[in-house]
Structure 1
Amino acid sequence: MIQTSACLRNLLTQSLHPGSSLSKLAAYFCYTCRLASSLQQEHKLSDYSDNEYADLDWDNLGFGITPADYMYITKCSKDKNFEQGKLSRYGNIGLSPSAGVLNYGQGLYEGTKAYRTEEGRILVFRPDQNAMRMKMGAERMCMPSPSIDQFVDAVKQIALVNKRWVPPPGKGALYIRPLLVGSGPVLGLAPAPEYMFLVYASPVGNYFKEGSAPLNLYIEEDFVRATPGGAGGVKTIGNYAPVLKALTRAKNRGFSDVLYLDSVHRKYLEEVSSCNIFIVKGNVISTPATNGTILEGITRKSVIDIAHDHGYQVEERLIPVDELIDADEVFCTGTAVVLAPVGSITYKNRRIEFRTGAGSACQELYSTLVGIQTGLIEDKKGWTIEIPHQIN
């Protein structure tokens, strides 16, 4: 089509006098041909080789937005299924000023990562678990959700078409962010009439500015993250803005992040701003139980399974803050942070320090988890999905 149009354009421009009506028509025809060619190129999906990388300083990759080439997007009306998704260039999306997500915070998000192995394969870690968690969260927020298969397929498509943004082995990962939002207009407090599911991606390095160095946490006493009966156990967007004040205050004091206590007794550990927490005492690893106020992290679940495999006794229970005094180790888990050691926790102006480094349980579990994620260790659990060269 484009080649035929180009031939016709050349014939017209060579045979017509400048300034004539037909000449102007030819000029317009020339413009529309260039526009069509441009649009065709713009929407041409990634055809980079498996070994080709985006032009980035991979050695200094932080945790910030560096948009990959393409995003996935689909919509549905209330009580209907999502349409077949489409890939498009990463860019802004249009929303009504009265969209449910803007006015009432009706939205969820997930996060998973794609890793490049030493052999050049691309692996995504447990996206089916993210899909199931989004489905449960959507039910809590009165939203439709994509099926497990559609969610996983969208993640696989994004990893494939953005493969040049997957960092080299050992340099980071491609962070993949699925979003589910109430996009339809609504004025009275009610579920939105329309919903949008989209997925975008960004290459990332370490989440914390400390890199792999131990974290220094601060226990917050003035603010809480979630309350019983609320939505603390689902990954709704509304859970994150409220922690910014406490997080900013802690960082201004030189701490890495905030560890929150329960809202009822103010004495039991809950979680950090963006990750779950574990404490180690001897051969026992403990983590707060997910009782509705704590997000059940995918990495958390994976680390519990790995710890069992390594012979640790794992307990999910109420953990009084006073137990930190006798703990040998503390570490955090999450998709963004992976598995991060905690060097100290400050509570009531008292700084408690913990063991880190070689020989620690944290290092042992981290090596196994990352080994599975990056293909260095055989995945006997079926946690990783290899991205094929093309997806039907």
Structure 2
Amino acid sequence: MNQRTVIIHDYAGHPFQVELSRYLASVWKDQGIRVIHAFSSSTHTPQGSLQVTPDDPPNFEVVPLSLGKMIQKYRFVDRFISEKKYGRLLCELCEQRKPEAVLSGNTPTVAQLMLVNWCNRNNARVATWIQDMYGVAAKRVLSKKIPVLGGLAGNYLIHLDGKSYRQSDSVIPITEDFTPLLLKQGVDASKIQPIHNWAPLDEMPQMPRDNDWSQSMKLGDEPRFIYSGTLSVRHNPQLLLDLAIRLDKEKRGRLIVISEGEAADWLAEHSKKLPSLSVLPFQPFSQLPMVLGAADVLLAILEPDAGVFCVPSKILTYLCAGRALLTAIPHDNLAARLIRDLDVGLNTSATESEPFVRMAMELAADNERRQEMGERARQYAEKEFDIAKIGKRFAAELGIPVDQECLAK
């Protein structure tokens, strides 16, 4: 049997995307289909298990795409040039491996359009997996940094995004909230198939509060707040700093921020005068269950005007940990609605710190409430994060249905 190839590309290298690749490889192995999971090794993000292991199916492959240096997110001209070079790397991979179908998510605008164009020229089915509305996000940021010209640049990127969406065989937004924007950009409604994000439940077992990681950090009995993940222009680290100041003043707990980049460096500088605040680099994915399990409350932040184009997927990983959540997210965002409907945490859409800090103190003082929230969170994850059901939907969008006999195994 001639081997067929599918490329699943996740620019960020996050955990649940590679879980999807592993799953599809396992159910397609008897169909002679090789699954290549490609990602950028030149960007700073918390990443999943991106090495082939002895337990992986033989038709599964991981390909890191490197520019030889890290992409500078906040140097916009350099970033644009780097992302165009990255797009060429991605197309070169496709040229070498000749996939019959490609799924691509988290991919910057220019690189994604280059990939879609390659697929169109080579008769490969392409599904664009929309984690963020990149052009909309870029316009917001650039308009603040470079008035007038920034807005024009953002509109250009929105235009390019629209071309990618319209020229894709399938468009997979992570929330129905993106659908009106896609329709406005001229995307055929029949192509739009929302699939909500999830977290790799099997790789995220619920861990005890006191574990090897918490002991290595010398964490005591005080309430523990943990933020783990990206801190970027979509976030407001001042909320975290103000919480640390309050915890320090009242000697009521610890705040641990696990991130990298300019915002993390800014918090690290302040931590020198705040015993309650610790800032750590991204931890190995294998340690993440213990990291999150060490928390009493897990934190997430999203700027108000980012709600339309971004859904923080860290919330879903947090649910696996079985801990209460404290978030500052626009109330109409999918993640905020989930937290409210499930009653797994507290959320404020306010931009100032006072409500966020006040809610933190409420949770710190109510152990029973935190435990009940955590139990509901884990129950939801165990019910909803079924990779077999999710994988079947993605397989259909790639035009390669999953064999029902494979599903039964």
Shorter-chain TM-score category? Answer: 0.3 to 0.5
- Compare the two structures and name the one with the higher helix fraction: 2
Output the TM-score relative to the length of structure 2.
0.32
Q: Which has the higher strand share?
A: 1
TM-score by length of 1: 0.33
